[in-house]
């Protein structure tokens, strides 16, 4: 039998495979693959757990966001109601102020009218007295003056007693 290079290569291959089987390389490879598969399975489980946790956190944050939006809307509504109330109060105070000022102005006008009427009356009285003095002075003589004076003195004495 002729042993050529192919035969020696075949024998080397068989010895190599026998050595690999003897050293339990396929078992080590299997256990390494099993460990890797288990690690991948654990990583997937961890990723699934993290994903569920992230989804629950997302749901919680969305709920909190909705609550915050609702609270902000209620704050805006309260602020708007307060602003409307303040505006109504300011309007009412302005109207009251205008009414008070109008009444005060009307009162001042009435007082000015009364003062003017009194001044006109006083001027009329003064004018009438002056005219009466002129008429009496021109029409009365000394004897009539003396009798009027005596009569006035007598009336004053009577009233004082």
pLDDT tens-place values along the chain, 161 residues long: 567 899 999 999 999 999 988 888 888 888 999 999 999 999 999 999 999 999 999 999 999 999 999 999 999 999 999 999 999 999 999 999 999 999 999 999 999 999 999 888 888 888 888 887 777 777 777 777 778 788 888 888 888 76
Tell me how far CA of residue 46 lies from CA of 40, 51, 135, in angstroms. Answer: 10, 8, 130
Whole-prediction pTM: 0.42
């Amino acid at each position: 039998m002729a042993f050529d290079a192919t035969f020696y290569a075949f024998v080397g291959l068989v010895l190599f495979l026998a050595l690999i089987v003897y050293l339990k390389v396929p078992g080590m490879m299997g256990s390494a693959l099993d460990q890797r598969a288990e690690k991948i399975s654990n990583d997937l489980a961890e990723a699934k757990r993290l994903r569920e946790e992230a989804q629950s956190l997302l749901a919680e944050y969305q709920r909190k966001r909705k609550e915050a939006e609702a609270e902000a809307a209620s704050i805006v509504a309260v602020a708007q109601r307060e602003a409307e109330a303040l505006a109504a109060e300011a309007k009412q105070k302005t109207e009251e102020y205008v009414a008070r000022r109008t009444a005060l102005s009307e009162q001042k006008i009435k007082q000015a009218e009364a003062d003017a009427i009194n001044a006109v009356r006083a001027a009329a009285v003064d004018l009438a007295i002056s005219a009466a003095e002129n008429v009496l002075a021109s029409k009365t003589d000394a004897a009539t003056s003396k009798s009027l004076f005596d009569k006035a003195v007598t009336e004053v004495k009577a009233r004082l007693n």
